[in-house]
Amino acid sequence: MEKYPHVGRADHERTAPAARPSWQHVVWLLASALLLLAILALWTQSAAAQTARGEDTLRRVLALPANEVQGGALYALRCASCHGSLGTGDADRVVPSIAGQLQGYVAKQMIDVAEGDRTIPEMHRALARADLISPQAIRDVAAFVSALAPLRTPAQGDGKAVVVGEQIFLAHCSHCHGKDAQGMEAGWVPALRGQHYAYLIKQMRQAAAGHRYSMDFEASERLEALMLPDLMAIADFLSRKTATVSAKVPLKPNGLSNDSIVHKDLP
Ligand code: HEC
Ligand code: HEC
């Protein structure tokens, strides 16, 4: 029962019969709802299928034996012009450092770009080259990149909020990215330490806005909840968190992390 049925109503409103939807209306409504559902189902299915195909390719790539010398030659030819001969990127042009990045992640990004799961216009051309489309080429380049010494001197923020940044990172991010931001090979979670400040900010904002399609849902939700000052604090902390050697590779007695390539150290 309405409390005051007469209040605020004109007479004709009280007496007029309620408009009933005709059966044609109902049929139309049902049909459009079904069509909408079908479109939604197709859309999510194709996105999932694309991601599954990417993952399948990635597993096949990583199962191959790596040839870092071959990878180094391809890298010099196709990647060094932007990422630098030591893989350390270019802070001013917001090109990331990829030196010492985990190989599963490097291979995944190459496949994601090739499959359209990540948009990097600058890189599409490089990855479409005939010498780079084979799984073996991706394997070799990823192995070469991950064996490079991580950058010790990335571009950093102003240093004012590093402690805050560390706290946020430890509370919201380190269970995936690792306590030392070294990343995790299982799950292809990237290392974030030693990365350029501006690139980190850019990626966090892109991920929060849903532009990194293959980003973990939990990760983008956490990033979405953070305001710019917090993102700046995290980026500053990460850019100051550096490792002298790739956390993944134990050093050999000769002081190198790998037998087949010579590590050139930074000046
Ligand atoms: C024309 C310039 C250019 C070339 C050539 C290029 N890259 Fe990139 N690459 C970029 C830029 C710019 C980004 C960052 C894009 C963004 O902000 O999302 C990037 C991102 C990446 C990433 C993702 C890094 C991360 O931390 O997520 C990887 C891995 C990578 N490149 C590897 C390569 C490899 C391997 C090659 C050679 C086959 C290559 N790139 C060639 C410009 C280039
Ligand atoms: C559930 C696990 C998870 C959590 C939690 C998480 N991330 Fe990530 N993050 C990932 C994965 C996986 C990727 C790589 C996505 C891809 O393949 O494109 C990633 C990518 C990134 C990148 C892009 C790196 C690059 O080199 O381009 C940044 C930056 C980043 N995360 C920052 C954060 C920060 C900051 C937090 C905490 C607020 C966080 N992440 C929480 C899993 C996580």
Instruction: Please indicate whether residue 139, judged by its CB atom, sits closer than 6 Å to ligand 2.
Output: no
Name the CA dihedral angle for 65, 246, 122, 67, rounded to a multiple of 10 degrees: -20
91 vs 247: which has the higher pLDDT: 91
Backbone angles phi, psi at 72, to 5 degrees: -65, -40
Residues 122 and 156 placed together within one structural domain of the fold: no
131 shares a domain with 58: yes
The arithmetic mean of pLDDT across residues 200-222, rounded, is 90
Return d(Cα 150, Cα 66) in angstroms, integer. Answer: 20
- For residue 198, is pLDDT > 60? yes
Q: What is the pLDDT of residue 20?
A: 67
Q: Which domain holds residue 206?
A: 151-246
Position 92 scores a pLDDT of: 94
Tell me which of 2-6, 67-71, 75-79, 88-92 is least confident: 2-6
Q: Any idea which of 14-28, 46-60, 90-104, 125-139 has the lowest mean pLDDT? A: 14-28
Q: Which of 192, 234, 239 to mutate to test the pocket of ligand 2 (most atoms within 8 A of CB)?
A: 192
Ligand of minimum distance to the alpha carbon of 115: 2
Question: 86 with 72, same domain?
Answer: yes
Euclidean distance between CA atoms 42 and 195, whole angstroms: 38
pLDDT band at 263 (very low <50, low <70, confident <90, very high): very low
CATH number (domain holding residue 205) = 1.10.760.10
In a domain, 267, yes or no: no
In this structure, the residues whose C-beta lies within 6 A of any atom of ligand 1 are 78-79, 81-83, 94-96, 98, 106, 109-110, 120, 122-123, 126-127, 132, 141, 145, 190, 202
pLDDT of residue 67: 96
Residue 52 belongs to some domain of the structure: yes
Please check whether residues 192 and 210 belong to one and the same domain. yes
Q: What is the pLDDT of residue 253?
A: 52
Q: Token pair of 148, please?
A: 């490079």
Q: What is the whole-number distance in angstroms between the Cα of residue 176 and the centre of ligand 2? A: 8
Hey, whose CA ends up nearest to atom 39 of ligand 1?
79
Residue 8 has pLDDT above 80, yes or no: no
More confident residue, 246 or 34: 34
Does the predicted model carry a pTM greater than 0.95? no
Residue pair 176/184 in contact by the 8 Å Cβ criterion: yes
Note the pLDDT of residue 256: 44
Mean pLDDT taken over the chain:
83
Q: Are residues 174 and 111 in the same domain?
A: no
| Same domain, residue pair 143 and 56 | yes
pLDDT at 27: 81
